[in-house]
Amino acid sequence: MTDTPVALSAAPRGTKPRKRLTPTNIMLYGTLFVAALYYLLPLYVMMVTSLKGMPEIRFGNVFAPPVEITFEPWVKAWAEACTGINCDGLSRGFWNSVQILVPSVVISIAIASVNGYALSLWKFKGSEVFFTILIFGAFIPYQVMIYPIVILLREAGEGLSLITGTKIRLMGSIWGLVIVHTIFGMPILTLLFRNYFASVPEELFKAARVDGAGFWQIYFQIMLPMALPIFVVAIILQVTGIWNDFLFGVIFTKPDTYPMTVQLNNIVNSVQGVKEYNVNMAATMLTGLVPLIIYFASGKLFVRGIAAGAVKG
């Protein structure tokens, strides 16, 4: 449609509503831009700092763009920064993190989704009590639990060794870490899945039961294919949480298998002479890359999943 003026005898009363620069819109976008500035500032600072040389940092300000762009801090953070006598930067930790991440995410989500499914559709006597305890668990600071968990894992390892006859150590193995991540991810994930499955029409569940499907058949064939949005949320939350974890990573792994965050901490806290802010920032960004990419890539899916999982209180 072209905008050829057509002489209309009866012009509508009132102003034409489709104006771009209404005061409301100015305020709306103005607020959004100011807010965006606040959220973007640190990212900007990280970025420019990581591209500056040390002298520039010492005499410039944090917001000034780099005069001379250098990628050396990135190279150093990835491959050269030293901790103790190891000077291979973050690179060592990257694959370790991936190896920890994958089983932890898969197992924790598998268990939490089954929990949520059982809690919403196969309630049994006491199931709500366990759920309430679980939710309380979300409020216990992790650090408080370290000590008993360490003892628990030791005992469990010994118990398993007795049963299987081979020596099994949960402490210091990747499986110990997976168990810990599963336990601490459980409250929030279970809540999400429970809410999601509770919003699935109950009649669907009934129909499947009349069709002779049991607990697992309904879970795998009916519920699982329907739960994609909430799985996206769960995966995002877990990937972020586990990737960013420092505390459990450092306690339940060994130097060979230290995750990236432990190495980040080492790089950032290994002050040799002056703090190399540029290297620190580059290391920081490198470490944050995986969760960041996941966030940027998931976009709308995350919001949609949250809507499905969090809306029911």
Partner 1 sequence: MNLYKATTAAIAFCAAGAVSAADLEVTHWWTSGGEAAAVAEFAKAFDATGNNWVDGAIAGSGGTARPIIVSRIIGGDPMHATQLNHGRQAEELIEAGLMLDLTDVATAEGWADTVNPTSLLDSCTVDGKIYCAPVNIHSWQWIWLSHQAYADAGVDVPSNWDEFVASAPALEAAGKIPLAMGQQAWQSSGAFGVINVAVGGPDLWNKINVNKDADAAAGPEMAKVFEAAAAARAMAANSKVQDWNQATNLVITGQAGGQVMGDWAQGEFQVAGQVAGQDYTCLPGLGVNEIISTGGDAFYFPKQDDPEIEAAQKELAKLLLSPEVQVNFNLKKGSLPVRGDIDLTAANDCMKKGLEILASGNILQSGDQVLSADTSTQIEDLMVEFWNDPSYSAADAQAKYAEIIADAD
Partner 2 sequence: MTNINVKDLTLEFGAVRVLDKLNIDIQEGEFLVLLGASGCGKSTLLNCIAGLLDITDGEIHIGGRNVTWEEPSERGIGMVFQSYALYPQMSVEGNLSFGLKNAKVPKPEIAKRVARAAEILQIEPLLKRKPAALSGGQRQRVAIGRALVRDVDVFLFDEPLSNLDAKLRADLRVELKLLHQKLDNTMIYVTHDQVEAMTLADRIAIMRGGVVQQIASPSEVYNRPSNKYVAGFIGSPTINFFEGSITDGGGEFLSADMHFPLTGYDASQGALTARPAWLGIRPESVITGTDVDHQPFTAEITVELVEPMGSDTLIYTTLAGIPFRFRMSGKASVAAGDALKIGFDPAQGSLFDKSTENRL
Partner 3 sequence: MAVTDGADVESPRTTTKRPNRLFKNMTAKLAAIPMIFTALVVFIGCTVWTIYHSFTKSKLLPAPDKWVGLDQYERLWSTRRWLVSIENLAIYGICSLVLSLLIGFVLAALLDRKIRGEGVFRTIFLYPFALSFVVTGLVWQWILNPQFGIQGVVQRWGWESFTFDPLNNPSIVIYGILIAGIWQGSGFIMVILLAGLRGIDEDIWKASRVEGIPVWKTYIFIVVPMMRPIFVTALVLIAAGIIKVYDLVVAQTSGGPGIASEVPAKYVIEKMFQAQNLGQGFAASTMMLLSVLVVLIPWAYLEFGGKGRD
Tell me if 126 contacts partner 2 by CB under 8 A. Answer: no
Tell me if 179 contacts partner 1 by CB under 8 A. Answer: no
Contact segment (CB under 8 A) with partner 3 among 6-14, 77-85, 164-172, 277-285 equals 277-285
Q: How many CB atoms lie within 10 A of CB 36?
A: 11
Q: Give the tokens for residue 271.
A: 């002050």
Using CB atoms within 10 A of its CB, is residue 152 exposed (0-12), middle (13-18) or buried (19+)? middle
Tell me if 224 contacts partner 3 by CB under 8 A. Answer: no
Q: Give the tokens for residue 169.
A: 């150590």
Can you tell me the distance from the alpha carbon of 68 to that of 50, in angstroms, rounded to the nearest whole number? 12
Tell me if 141 contacts partner 2 by CB under 8 A. Answer: no
Contact segment (CB under 8 A) with partner 3 among 7-15, 83-91, 96-104, 304-312 equals 304-312
Q: Which is nearer to partner 1, 83 or 195 (CB)?
A: 83
Write the CA distances from 119 to 75, 132, 134, 192, 287, integer angstroms: 49, 11, 12, 11, 36
Q: Which is nearer to partner 2, 3 or 203 (CB)?
A: 203
Tell me if 172 contacts partner 1 by CB under 8 A. Answer: yes
Smallest separation (angstroms) from partner 2 to the CB of 201:
5
Cα-trace Rg, the chain: 26
Residues in the chain, how many? 313
Tell me if residue 70 falls in helix, strand or coil.
coil
Single residue of 207, 246, 270, 271 touching partner 3 by CB under 8 A: 246
- Residue 121 makes CB contacts below 8 A (sequence gap 6+) with 197, 200, 202, 205, 218, 223
Dihedrals phi, psi of 86, to nearest 5 degrees: -90, 125
Q: Which is nearer to partner 1, 9 or 164 (CB)?
A: 164
Single residue of 32, 87, 102, 226 touching partner 3 by CB under 8 A: 32
Single residue of 209, 265, 275, 298 touching partner 2 by CB under 8 A: 209
Tell me if 213 contacts partner 2 by CB under 8 A. Answer: yes
Single residue of 50, 104, 182, 257 touching partner 3 by CB under 8 A: 182
User: What SS3 string covers 79-123?
Assistant: HHCCECCECCCCHHHHHHHHHHHHHHHHHHHHHHHHHHHHHHHCC
Tell me if 106 contacts partner 1 by CB under 8 A. Answer: no
Q: Which is nearer to partner 1, 62 or 213 (CB)?
A: 62
Tell me if 310 contacts partner 3 by CB under 8 A. Answer: yes
Tell me if 93 contacts partner 1 by CB under 8 A. Answer: no
Tell me if 43 contacts partner 3 by CB under 8 A. Answer: yes
Dihedrals phi, psi of 83, to nearest 5 degrees: -130, 120
Q: How many CB atoms lie within 10 A of CB 213?
A: 16
Q: Give the tokens for residue 22.
A: 């209404």
What number of chain residues touch partner 1 (CB under 8 A)?
Answer: 37
Contact segment (CB under 8 A) with partner 3 among 10-18, 76-84, 86-94, 146-154 equals 146-154
Q: Which is nearer to partner 2, 197 or 258 (CB)?
A: 197
Single residue of 17, 55, 212, 273 touching partner 2 by CB under 8 A: 212
User: Quick check: 112 and 234 in contact, CB under 8 A?
Assistant: yes
User: Quick check: 152 and 228 in contact, CB under 8 A?
Assistant: no
Q: Look up tokens 């509503």; give the residue.
A: 17
Contact residues toward partner 2 (CB under 8 A) are 201, 203-204, 206-213, 217, 221-222, 225-226
Contact residues toward partner 1 (CB under 8 A) are 82-86, 146-147, 150-151, 153-154, 157-158, 166-169, 171-173, 250-251, 254-256, 262, 265-275
